[in-house]
Structure 1
Amino acid sequence: MKIRSLTINTSTEVIVKIVREVLTLFKAEIVGQAGEADYAQLSVVNRQSGCEPPSVMTEILLFALDGSCERFEFSSDGAADEVPRAAVHRAIKRNVYAFFRTRFQLPPAPWGILHGVRPTKIVHRWLRSGMTPEAVIARLQADYDCSVGKAQLITEVAVRQLPFLAHSDVRRVSIYVGIPFCLSRCFYCSFPSNLLPGREKLRAFMDVLARDLAAAAEDVRALGLTVESIYIGGGTPTSLPNDFFAEMLKMVYNAFYGPTIVEFTVEAGRPDSMSAEKIAAMKAYAVTRVSVNPQSMQAETLRRIGRHHTPEDIVRMVHEIRAAFDVHINMDVILGLPGETAEDVACTVAQVTALAPDDITLHALALKRGSNLRLKMETEHVELPSDAETQRMSAVAVRAVEEAGYRPYYLYRQGYMSGDLENVGYARAGAESIYNIQIMEEHQTIIGIGGAATTKVLGVRSGRMHSVFHAKDLVTYLRDIDIYIEKRRALLRAEYEEETP
């Protein structure tokens, strides 16, 4: 659906944003006056009541190309336990959502108007207030037009997380180390990573990383913080040559490893980055969890998305890691890859579950602006599976992993997700990743080190989470490392440093 112009009776950024979110949800595009269009204008007028909790009446005018106009009115109420401003925003969104469903007879969206990366945070807030899981599920449907399936899913995830979050301590932190290199760039990827450079530039990166690690370790010591988990991600950390990989692991181990560590994860990614020497290094430095990311077990799909390995290579990689040491293995699968069907996904998940990983993450393809896939869709007419087919993929994948004994334990969403789906981690009982739970629910400070890393600090004093970011591009990170170290240190001290009398 194409509309030439959109008008809203406010320029408030957040209201413009939520109206546009609904347009994106229903694939309604604002094309401008010069573009071909189905309608001339969509006008949204919101009127808020003065009562508490607030109520919003939204008048929507839809102008045809011949100048004729259709008029609609929708009204939604806030809830007594909502922050008034949030109630108004939710009411506006419900009204615009109701307009599109009513006028164009569109089916309900699986997530309704529930938007954002961490929908489980709403569930946790309600559970803390004393609501039962059954009441939470009912309210998600009533307030957010969420389908019963998605409401049950996020409530199940949140309830499963409760024992892990109950042990949270404001001075217990996790460490993220970013290794921003890959052997090649996958078709769908928009992550800030670099193709693996030569040894001279790698040496420069390792020297800067050593300074970054040492500074963060000193901050942890000086502020009396306890490290619970370590996560080495990227990029693909195992893309480093054998000697650099072992050196990197040793530096991280020496900086942070100790008796309080309950989880030490390395993203190993893909088999063309793995070697016996790297497996030995992970064993030597007490890694407890390795992430292996096949994305698909279909040979043609791997070739299509720019992977330089086969499904058989994935199988061999898992067997070699398991034979070398006792470690939890996570495997990732992407739903919605170009050229695939639900039958392809069923075949992939069957092969993945046959390898008996401890943790399987089902990702829905997120079509990002920075990816080669987005570019090729515009220039070479590469097509993705339809939303209906992607939802079929999800149904067969979820059924297969649950029948194999895995249960959902963390969930997050991204923009532009195929099929209006979500990313869900499924694990065997006792194999849940603590780091994944903590970073998704934002119950813990995460100290970021390395290329493109982010530090997120709990608002111990300020009451809200704050973030600082390392540069995404390698040249800037190497050049300005002292600036990033000081920004991170200042943020940690602002929240954690003891006040002197």
Structure 2
Amino acid sequence: MKIETLTINDHQEVVVKITKEVVRLFRIAVAGPCADADYAQLSVVHQRLAPDAAGHVRAETRLYAFRPDGTCEQYAEQGTGAADETPSAACHRLWKLMLYRLFLAHFSAHDGIEPAPWGILHGVRPTKLVHRWRRSGMEAAAIITRLQTDYACSREKAELIVPMAFRQVPFLETSDEKTVSIYVGIPFCLTRCLYCSFPSNVLPGEKMLRKFMTVFEKDLRAVQALVAQYGFRVQNIYVGGGTPTSLPDAFFDAMLTMVHDAFWHKGLVEFTVEAGRPDSMSETKIAAMQRLGVTRVSVNPQTMQQKTLDLIGRRHTPEEVVTMFHALRDAGIPHINMDVILGLPGETAADVADTMAKIVALAPDDITLHALAIKRGSRLQKLMEERHVDLPSSDTTRRMSEIAQAAVKAAGMQPYYLYRQGYMAGDLENIGCCRPGAEGMYNIQIMEEHQTILGIGGAAATKCVDHRHHCLHSAFNAKDLKTYLRDIDIYIEKRAQLLASIYGNEGIPC
């Protein structure tokens, strides 16, 4: 559906945001003056009405659709908020829900206007909503129903995330106010994948690497001091990036040894390294991980189709992925994760079926199914704009997801964490599935924002959970490598101030 202009009666940032989320969800193009527009203008009017007799919030959304010939179609819907919602939250949810319903009811003849699998659940972590209702005493069945009525979520997605959230409870309960995880960001890769928008750098020369290691150690020692100062118990260590194993052998060993010596202890639950791709791996690195007690390694082929690997800029073969996997297993790494991306350019549902068959045959402990998200700054976005690359349709990508989820289910795996991103293929999700007992503790803790994460390294984030005020505060290291190296003292101080504000006597209100 194509329109010339979109107007919104309320210019508050949050109102504009939720309105445009619905417009984007239905792929409504705001094209400016053009000859083939379906409508010259769509005007959205959100209003808050007088409360009902019980004091519940009431709201209305009106939609005015002006045809190019000057005629106008008018539609309206009213709704009532729930008793457990704040007035502002109720209004925002209702306005978004009512606009969603108006588009479905009156514009379904247009291409792309069909129910979305997640309805108006646009956030990164939909399971957080489930946990909030669970803590209030709601049963699983009631939560599934409410997701459908209040958020227009499909029954399929509701029945996916609700049991998942309830399965997470024992893992979340292992953490308290003084339990933290350590995230280590190594912002280097051997090459930059076609779809990548992460803040990573192609591996620099030795001089720059030595400078990075010096600054990295200073960053690490500062976090080590904070752990001691506040009496934190480190539950998990996660070394990510980038691709940490892109570091040359000696640098990788030195980095991992520093991390181990600073934070490893006998009660550590999980020590993860993202190894990524086989062209970054070596026997020396595997030996270092084995020696230093790494318990979980991510092997991320993304696809087992050579044509796709070549297209997206990965300089390895599917056979090398298999060799890398077996080398890690032979070294005694107890938990191996593998990642797949659904919706890659040029792929078919048959390609995904073949990829899943090859990956499941390796018997990894954990498989993460990612839906391709087109991000600003990626080469893929530019190639799509220039019409050099075509992606699978939304229907095809959803079929890929069905195939992949059936494969992990047949392998005895269950979903245990989930998150979403903007502009995901097929309006899907990223979902981690594992065999029973192989749940990644760090993944659960960070996705549910239940635990403080202390970040070290390039582009790393420190996220502090304020248990007294039930909210989250963050401090970020620079994404740009040169800025991180130059201003490390600033980032160390910001992180220290953040922890003092959260773990001091008063804490900061949210």
SS of match in other structure, 1:211: helix
* Aligned match of 2:204: 197
* Aligned match of 2:493: 486
Per the TM alignment, residue 95 of structure 1 is displaced from its structure 2 partner at its CA by 1.1
SS of match in other structure, 2:433: strand
TM-score (norm. length: structure 2):
0.96
* Aligned match of 1:26: 26
Instruction: Return the match for 1:410 from 395, 414, 417.
Output: 417
Q: In 1, are the aligned partners of 2:418 and 2:447 still within 8 Å (CA)?
A: yes
TM-score (norm. length: structure 1):
0.98
* Aligned match of 2:378: 371
Per the TM alignment, residue 461 of structure 1 is displaced from its structure 2 partner at its CA by 4.6
SS of match in other structure, 1:465: strand
Per the TM alignment, residue 35 of structure 1 is displaced from its structure 2 partner at its CA by 8.3
Q: How does 1:319-358 map to 2 (within 5 A)?
A: 319-358=326-365
Instruction: Return the match for 2:448 from 429, 441, 460.
Output: 441
Q: In 1, are the aligned partners of 2:297 and 2:333 still within 8 Å (CA)?
A: no
Output one character per residue of 1:188-234: Cα deviation in whole Å (capped at 9) or x when no partner. 01000000000000000000000000010001101111100000000
* Aligned match of 1:88: 91
Output one character per residue of 1:74-109: Cα deviation in whole Å (capped at 9) or x when no partner. 122211111111111111011111111112223211
Output one character per residue of 1:237-262: Cα deviation in whole Å (capped at 9) or x when no partner. 00000000000000001111112311
Per the TM alignment, residue 463 of structure 1 is displaced from its structure 2 partner at its CA by 3.9
Amino acid in structure 2 at the alignment position of 1:491:
L
Q: Which moved more, 1:488-497 or 1:222-231?
A: 488-497
Q: Which moved more, 1:273-282 or 1:157-166?
A: 157-166
Per the TM alignment, residue 160 of structure 1 is displaced from its structure 2 partner at its CA by 1.0
Instruction: Return the match for 1:258 from 254, 265, 274.
Output: 265
Q: How does 1:299-338 map to 2 (within 5 A)?
A: 299-338=306-345
**1:193, 1:261 → 2: CA distance?**
28
Gaps of 5+ in 1: none
**2:35, 2:123 → 1: CA distance?**
30
**2:492, 2:152 → 1: CA distance?**
44
* Aligned match of 1:152: 159
* Aligned match of 1:7: 7
Amino acid in structure 2 at the alignment position of 1:7:
T
* Aligned match of 1:101: 104
Aligned-pair identity (%) = 61
Gaps of 5+ in 2: none
1:69 is the counterpart of 2:72: yes
Q: Which moved more, 1:430-439 or 1:102-111?
A: 102-111
**1:36, 1:257 → 2: CA distance?**
63
Tell me the number of residue pairs that the alignment of Structure 1 and Structure 2 aligns: 499
Instruction: Return the match for 1:233 from 213, 225, 240.
Output: 240
**1:284, 1:452 → 2: CA distance?**
27
Q: In 2, are the aligned partners of 1:341 and 1:385 still within 8 Å (CA)?
A: yes
Amino acid in structure 2 at the alignment position of 1:176:
Y
1:472 is the counterpart of 2:472: no
Q: 1:145 to 1:254 in 2, by over 3 A?
A: same
1:268 is the counterpart of 2:275: yes
* Aligned match of 1:113: 120
**1:491, 1:260 → 2: CA distance?**
26
Runs of 4+ in 1 over 6 A off after TM superposition: none
**1:244, 1:385 → 2: CA distance?**
40
Q: In 2, are the aligned partners of 1:359 and 1:426 still within 8 Å (CA)?
A: yes
Q: In 2, are the aligned partners of 1:460 and 1:496 still within 8 Å (CA)?
A: no
